Amino acid sequence: MEMKPYQNIFVLVLFLVAFASNVVVMHGQTICKMSAQELMSCKPAVTPPEPSDPSSACCAALKHADVACLCSFKSSSWLPSLGIDPNLATQLPEKCKLPHPANC
């Protein structure tokens, strides 16, 4: 199955969640206009074996994320190695009822 461009953005977000969970992030530092705390709020929704629905905090963070920045990471193959399920990641837009980002 081919991934739609908007799904790549959310796969990238999840990569960044995994990245933020595995490094020390300085207070106030953001990645693509999302704080480490905001990135981490999405992790339970993309971590098998029993993912939760995305929290309202996760969906709110995704709404204000820098899409162009997120798109710059879309080719990463790190998600599975960091415990993130890409299939779960692609479900975030629908679950958060977000518009589909363009030009990514």
Q: Is the pLDDT of residue 44 over 50?
A: yes
Interval 1-43: pLDDT, tens: 555 666 667 767 766 666 665 544 455 678 778 788 887 898 8
Distance, in Å, from the CA atom of 20 to the CA atom of 93, rounded to the nearest integer, reads 20
Query: Which amino acid belongs to residue 57?
Result: A
Interval 56-92: pLDDT, tens: 999 999 888 775 666 566 667 776 777 777 777 767 7
Q: Which long-range contacts (CB under 8 A, 24 or more apart) does 56-60 make?
A: 58/92, 58/96, 59/95, 59/96, 59/97, 59/98
Domain boundaries, given as residue ranges, for the chain? 5-96
The pTM for the full model equals 0.66
CATH code, 5-96: 1.10.110.10
How high is the pLDDT of residue 25? 47
How high is the pLDDT of residue 24? 44
